[in-house]
């Protein structure tokens, strides 16, 4: 042991689009979604140690569940060439909020372990390991902007977008088994053919800026039924920014803003109404996945 440690961001994500195409024979649903890492992040530190351990620091009242079931902890076991590490996880991304927080923590652990490993797997093989932990985890291995298809595990990295500012609202609402519930609430008329996502991809590939009319989330129609009380947060954000979209399966919501100043002002206004809001910006793949390596005594 030479006391090396790595420190990584574990960024949250939003979905620019999320379309559900229909039910698959395996009981899952076929989706098309364009995912984007944002500046709201957890921090993961992994330090070489004789005895593996996990400590978590989180805002008061955060329900993290049993530590041994934490996805970050399970990621250590999943990496095929992990050195023993003491893991420290500092949570800022609310769990079960549609922001991919737990999945991002797990991917950050995998990236960190890979950096400490004498035989690194590299991103492509890390994504395969990540998929064993959950459908959302592989995206966070590379982060940035990516198209996801299938159950969400078939990824295509897209070129980095010009930075964009958003207002993110994180309602303190909990729905047990929300992802299954939301898929279950969809009817045949909610299914689409992926055309909105294809349109967004064409727009991005020709360098056109993102506009709100390009954004869609199929779950927006049914989310209020799964999260009683969500409507108040949605209308407050829509009033402040002109629109509001669900992040993943919710309950978090976001709105696209024209710049940092507009986003910060809108978030501050919302907080005066006791709506938990913050201004965040999009992060590129490189910024999302940077690893800081420290050597004790160096
Ligand atoms: O991926 P995750 O385990 O969070 O999914 C929870 C549930 O949501 C699944 O068991 C399935 O019922 C539903 N689901 C789905 N189609 C997907 C992803 C999840 O039907 N693409």
- Residue 197 pLDDT: 98
- CATH code where residue 228 lies: 3.30.70.890
Let me know whether 152 and 223 are in one domain.
no
Let me know whether 46 and 64 are in one domain.
yes
Is 13 considered catalytic here?
yes
- Number of structural domains, the chain? 2
- Supply the range of the domain harboring residue 106: 5-160+286-294
Let me know whether 215 and 123 are in one domain.
no
- Ligand 1 atom 19: the closest Cα is on which residue? 28
Taking the whole predicted model, whether its pTM rises above 0.85 is answered as yes
Q: What is the mean pLDDT of residues 147-157?
A: 93
Q: Is 28 in the pocket of ligand 1 (CB under 6 A)?
A: yes
Let me know whether 274 and 153 are in one domain.
no
- Residue 298 pLDDT: 56
- Residue 69 pLDDT: 87
- Residue 296 pLDDT: 72
Span 263-280, pLDDT tens digits: 999 999 999 999 999 999
- CATH code where residue 14 lies: 3.30.230.10
Let me know whether 66 and 89 are in one domain.
yes
- Residue 2 pLDDT: 59
Tokens found for residue 174 = 């909990």
pLDDT for 283 beyond 70: yes
Q: Is 143 in the pocket of ligand 1 (CB under 6 A)?
A: no
pLDDT for 156 beyond 80: yes
Q: What are residue 15's DSSP bridge partners?
A: 35
Dist CA 201 CA 267 (whole Å): 29
Phi-psi label, residue 124: left if phi above 0, alpha if psi -120 to 50, beta otherwise = alpha
pLDDT band at 234 (very low <50, low <70, confident <90, very high): very high
Let me know whether 156 and 183 are in one domain.
no
- Ligand 1 atom 21: the closest Cα is on which residue? 151
Least confident of 1-5, 19-23, 222-226, 255-259: 1-5
- Residue 66 pLDDT: 86
Let me know whether 45 and 73 are in one domain.
yes
- Residue 294 pLDDT: 87
Let me know whether 105 and 169 are in one domain.
no
Mean pLDDT computed over every residue of the chain:
94
pLDDT band at 153 (very low <50, low <70, confident <90, very high): confident
User: DSSP state, 50?
Assistant: S
Span 35-66, pLDDT tens digits: 999 999 999 999 999 999 999 999 988 888 88
- Ligand 1 atom 10: the closest Cα is on which residue? 180
Please measure the distance between the N-terminal and C-terminal CA atoms of the chain and give it in whole angstroms: 14
Let me know whether 140 and 225 are in one domain.
no
CA of 116 to the centre of ligand 1 (A): 33
Let me know whether 69 and 97 are in one domain.
yes
Let me know whether 248 and 112 are in one domain.
no
Let me know whether 63 and 199 are in one domain.
no
Dist CA 94 CA 104 (whole Å): 12
Label residues 180-197 b or e (16+ Cβ within 10 Å = b): ebbbeebeeebbbebebb
Q: Is 31 in the pocket of ligand 1 (CB under 6 A)?
A: yes
pLDDT band at 147 (very low <50, low <70, confident <90, very high): very high
């Amino acid at each position: 042991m030479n006391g090396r440690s790595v420190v990584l961001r574990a960024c949250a994500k939003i979905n620019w689009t999320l379309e559900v195409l229909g039910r698959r024979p395996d009981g899952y649903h076929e989706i098309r979604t364009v995912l984007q890492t944002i500046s709201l992040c957890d921090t993961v530190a992994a330090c070489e140690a004789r005895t593996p351990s996990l400590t978590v620091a989180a805002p008061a009242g955060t329900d993290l569940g049993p530590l041994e079931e934490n996805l970050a902890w399970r990621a250590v076991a999943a990496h095929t060439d992990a050195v023993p590490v003491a893991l420290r996880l500092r949570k800022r991304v609310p769990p079960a909020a549609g922001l991919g927080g737990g999945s991002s923590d797990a991917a950050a652990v995998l990236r960190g372990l890979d950096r400490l490993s004498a035989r690194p797997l590299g991103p492509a093989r890390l994504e395969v390991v990540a998929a064993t932990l959950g459908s959302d985890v592989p995206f966070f291995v590379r982060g940035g902007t990516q198209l996801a298809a299938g159950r969400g595990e078939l990824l295509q990295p897209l070129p980095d977008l010009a930075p964009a500012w958003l207002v993110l609202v994180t309602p303190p609402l909990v729905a047990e088994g929300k992802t299954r519930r939301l898929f279950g609430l969809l009817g045949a008329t909610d299914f689409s053919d992926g055309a909105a996502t294809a349109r967004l991809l064409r727009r991005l590939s020709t360098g056109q800026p993102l506009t709100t009319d390009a954004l869609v989330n199929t779950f927006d129609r049914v989310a209020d039924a799964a999260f009683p009380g969500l409507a108040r947060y949605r209308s407050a954000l829509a009033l402040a920014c002109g629109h509001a979209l669900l992040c993943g399966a919710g309950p978090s919501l976001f709105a696209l803003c024209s710049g940092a100043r507009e986003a910060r002002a809108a978030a501050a206004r919302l907080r005066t109404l006791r709506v938990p809001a913050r201004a965040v910006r999009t992060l590129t793949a490189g910024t999302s996945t940077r690893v800081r390596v420290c050597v004790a005594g160096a």
